Amino acid sequence: MRVLMVMSRLILGGAETVALELAGALKKRGCHVSIASVRSGGGRRDEFARAATVVHDGLTSNRFDLMAAVRIARIIRQEQIESVIIVDTLRNGMLFTTLGSLLSGRNVRIICWCHSVPGGQAGRFVRRLRWYRSAGMLDDVVCVSQYLREELISQRLSQRDVCVIHNGINLSHFTYHGRPARESEHGRDARGTYLSLPANKHIIVQVANVVPDKDFQTLIEATARLAKRRDDFHLVLIGEGTKGPEIARAIEQAGADEFITPMGKREDVPEILASTDMLVLSTKTESFGLAVLEAMASGLPVVAGDVPALREVFTHESEGLKVRPGDADALAGAIERLLDDETLRQQFGDAGRKRAEEFTTERMADKFYRLLTDS
């Protein structure tokens, strides 16, 4: 099987990270895997080059460069591509890929791997999917959650065209010793030291890029309210844009400077998770919840907004706590409950690791391989 994966850029994002894992897993199964990015740059070319067979970094010279379709056609012909996976609902990527497949003259299976919620930051893309499907230019849509599939079907995408393959992670990337063993071996001081943060503090982390769907304002307000009644914790913000002026201004206005450290985009997220006490995800909507799954794989308890997709990943009062999105008081209360109860943190963390073992790269890759080889 010869597969081409098309994505926007080779960046440090959730969809790209899962695509990187899938590329490597398909290659191990004997597939020829090519990677093509619509735009060049992003910093992860070397990682994709190790995982895939061939990498084409940057198909376009500008946003409206229709020669990208010709370049995709050339890749499909020269590498005898049989299936193309478009990573997420890329407007230009979808156009360039479908035109390229037509120009190639080959009978290519086109799959859209949907990671986005309709109407969220990706916009209203379902009508485009319906059009490509009705025109015979799109064969399958793969959703990363059952919730996302139901959303697409509710907007009149045929249920026969949409399947679910949950995201998977490589568990070996995430350290899990059980919380008591980790604390007795290293102590909380060591966890704070790794991140150059105050010692003897409970370290809380949110891993999310600054986009409209992630509700940083509520998290910052919850932190400020919690800081008025205790000082034994510190919040770390990991993700693109967290070191920007918007977040700095919100932290300053909330008076939470001493309790929050924005660290921006980081490539050592597994190490950071291994050095913290809990993950929080203040969010308005999720298509899956990869950051939550990674935290669970590290044995961390989770506090997150109660949004539909996360109900497929973890259960309230089992692997963590869920709160009403946008409710700063409820978020602060849930965090405080875990800060005060080490036994509960351990219980949730152990249950989370066990649950994370149901979402592996191997399981995801097996399902994709069956889809790709299904004639």
Summarised one tens digit per residue, pLDDT across range 10-19 is 988 899 999 9
pLDDT exceeds 90 at position 194: no
CA distance 142 to 161: 9
Question: In this structure, are residues 124 and 95 in contact, taking their beta carbons and an 8 Å threshold?
Answer: no
- What's the fold here for domain 2-168+360-373? Rossmann fold (3.40.50)
For 235-247, give one letter per residue: b (16+ CB within 10 A) or e.
bbbbbbbbeeeeb
- What's the fold here for domain 172-356? Rossmann fold (3.40.50)
pLDDT exceeds 60 at position 260: yes
CA distance 137 to 184: 57
Read off the DSSP letter of residue 307: -
Question: In this structure, are residues 122 and 86 in contact, taking their beta carbons and an 8 Å threshold?
Answer: no
What SS3 string covers 116-137? Answer: CCCCCCCCCCHHHHHHHHHCCC
pLDDT (0 to 100) of residue 139: 96
What are the angstrom distances between the C-alpha of 14 and each of 17, 20, 168, 175, 240?
A: 5, 10, 11, 19, 12
Collapsed DSSP state (helix, strand, coil) of residue 173: helix
Both tokens of 179, joined, read: 């919380």
Read off the DSSP letter of residue 17: H
Distance of CA 73 to the CA centre of its chain: 29
Kindly indicate the confidence band of residue 181, based on its pLDDT and cuts at 50, 70 and 90.
Answer: very low
Read off the DSSP letter of residue 61: S
CA angle 285, 159, 283 (to 5 degrees): 5
- Residues above pLDDT 90, as percent of the chain: 86
- CA nearest 26: which of 375, 374, 364? 364
CA distance 344 to 336: 12
pLDDT exceeds 50 at position 332: yes
pLDDT (0 to 100) of residue 192: 63
Collapsed DSSP state (helix, strand, coil) of residue 62: coil
pLDDT exceeds 80 at position 115: yes
Kindly indicate the confidence band of residue 180, based on its pLDDT and cuts at 50, 70 and 90.
Answer: very low
pLDDT exceeds 80 at position 166: yes
pLDDT exceeds 50 at position 184: no
Residues of each domain in the chain carrying CATH 3.40.50.2000? 2-168+360-373, 172-356
pLDDT exceeds 70 at position 182: no
CA angle 103, 28, 94 (to 5 degrees): 30
Both tokens of 217, joined, read: 């304002």
Q: What number is the average pLDDT over the span 113-138?
A: 92
Question: In this structure, are residues 208 and 290 in contact, taking their beta carbons and an 8 Å threshold?
Answer: no
pLDDT (0 to 100) of residue 62: 83
Both tokens of 172, joined, read: 């070996």
pLDDT exceeds 70 at position 352: yes
Question: In this structure, are residues 203 and 275 in contact, taking their beta carbons and an 8 Å threshold?
Answer: yes
pTM greater than 0.75 (yes/no): yes
Average pLDDT of every residue of the chain: 93
For 33-69, give one letter per residue: b (16+ CB within 10 A) or e.
bbbbbbbeebebbebbeebbbebbbbbbeeeebeebb
Which residues are registered as beta bridge partners of 281? 304
pLDDT (0 to 100) of residue 50: 95
Q: What number is the average pLDDT over the span 63-80?
A: 94
- CA nearest 8: which of 69, 72, 92, 65? 92
Both tokens of 346, joined, read: 């351990």
